[in-house]
């Protein structure tokens, strides 16, 4: 439970996002109304991402080990704020909704607030990802007695103190699901706010949707035993 926002630490993993990261950082700078620090965890990008981040107010951490989850975990360890926001650096999430995400957590006395993309009128999520997400979310809700609409949202506000009570093992895409499993098991309150989504404009996706989908389903099953 976080009743007051002292500082928001925004953690952004990047791997070759030179075409996207500047706009993401500029939007945060413009929109975020809370005291904040921006932490970019970069996987040794070779396309100029590092130079763009160095030229901004954001703090840069280079993490050469591969993995979306690992990058987020490293950034979260370094975070000083009592609220941590995780978000991709590829410009697909609606950065300007960051305040409603943080406010959604605080207003509901929740440990986490997810930005759900399932009510997005633009339907910017690809069909394969949409169907996969629905299937994963259905399994998750059934097995962990939750009622989420978008378990795969990577845009989340999280209470720092709640994060400290949980140990993570996953290093790649299943990290986001592992977090939901562990928070659900601890009966931490998780809420959702509506957001929108955009197609990736530059760069390549690092997600291998089919492989990641299988890994995420395996993580959901493994979580029942641990």
Ligand X SMILES: Nc1nc2c(ncn2[C@@H]2O[C@H](COP(=O)(O)OP(=O)(O)OP(=O)(O)O)[C@@H](O)[C@H]2O)c(=O)[nH]1
- Site residues (vs Mg ion, CB under 5 A): 88, 90, 92
CB–CB of 64/43 below 8 Å? yes
Q: Does 90 bind ligand X (CB under 6 A)?
A: yes
Q: Does 66 bind ligand X (CB under 6 A)?
A: yes
Q: Which tokens is 170 given?
A: 């996953």
Closest CA to 9 of 61, 81, 72, 73: 81
CB–CB of 12/24 below 8 Å? yes
Convert residues 165-184 into a mask of x (bound to ligand X by CB under 6 A) and - (unbound): --------------------
Residues 6+ apart with CB under 8 A from 206: 15, 68
Q: What is the rounded CA–CA span in Å between residue 16 and residue 90?
A: 9
- Pick 182 or 206: Cβ nearer Mg ion: 206
Strands 83-86 and 112-116: unpaired
Q: From the list Mg ion, ligand X, none, which binds 41 (C-beta under 5 to 8 Å, kind-based)?
A: ligand X
Q: Among residues 5, 18, 63, 177, which is the contact residue for ligand X, using CB under 6 A? A: 63
Q: Among residues 8, 10, 15, 106, which is the contact residue for ligand X, using CB under 6 A? A: 15
Residues 6+ apart with CB under 8 A from 45: 14, 15, 16, 17, 18
Q: What is the rounded CA–CA span in Å between residue 152 and residue 141?
A: 12
- Pick 161 or 205: Cβ nearer ligand X: 205
Q: Does 207 bind ligand X (CB under 6 A)?
A: yes
- Pick 90 or 94: Cβ nearer Mg ion: 90
Residues 6+ apart with CB under 8 A from 147: 141
Q: Does 41 bind ligand X (CB under 6 A)?
A: yes
- In whole angstroms, the minimum distance from the beta carbon of 134 to ligand X comes to 15
Q: What is the rounded CA–CA span in Å between residue 162 and residue 185?
A: 12
- In whole angstroms, the minimum distance from the beta carbon of 197 to ligand X comes to 9
Tell me the number of residues near ligand X by CB under 6 A: 20
Q: What is the rounded CA–CA span in Å between residue 95 and residue 183?
A: 24
Q: Among residues 8, 11, 32, 42, which is the contact residue for ligand X, using CB under 6 A? A: 42
Q: Does 95 bind ligand X (CB under 6 A)?
A: no
Binding site for ligand X (CB under 6 A): 13-15, 17, 41-43, 63, 66-68, 71, 88-90, 92, 200, 205-207
């Amino acid at each position: 439970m976080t009743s007051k926002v002292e500082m928001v630490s925004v953690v952004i993993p990047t791997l070759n996002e030179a075409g996207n990261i500047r706009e993401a950082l500029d939007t945060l700078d413009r929109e975020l109304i809370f005291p904040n620090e921006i932490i970019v965890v970069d996987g040794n990008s070779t396309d100029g991402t590092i130079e763009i981040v160095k030229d901004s107010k954001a703090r840069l951490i280079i993490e050469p080990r591969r993995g979306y989850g690992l990058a987020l975990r490293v950034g979260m360890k370094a975070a000083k704020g009592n609220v941590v926001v995780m978000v991709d650096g590829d410009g697909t999430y609606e950065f300007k909704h960051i305040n409603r995400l943080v406010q959604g957590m605080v207003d509901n006395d929740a440990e986490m607030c997810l930005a759900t993309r399932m009510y997005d009128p633009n339907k910017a999520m690809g069909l394969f990802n949409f169907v996969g997400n629905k299937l994963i979310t259905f399994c998750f809700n059934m097995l962990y007695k939750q009622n989420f609409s978008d378990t795969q949202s990577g845009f989340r506000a999280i209470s720092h103190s709640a994060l400290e009570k949980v140990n993570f093992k996953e290093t790649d895409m299943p990290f986001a699901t592992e977090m939901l499993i562990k928070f659900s098991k601890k009966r931490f309150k998780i809420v959702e706010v509506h957001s929108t989504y955009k197609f990736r404009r530059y760069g390549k996706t690092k997600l291998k949707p089919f492989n990641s989908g299988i890994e995420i389903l395996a993580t959901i099953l493994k979580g029942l035993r641990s």
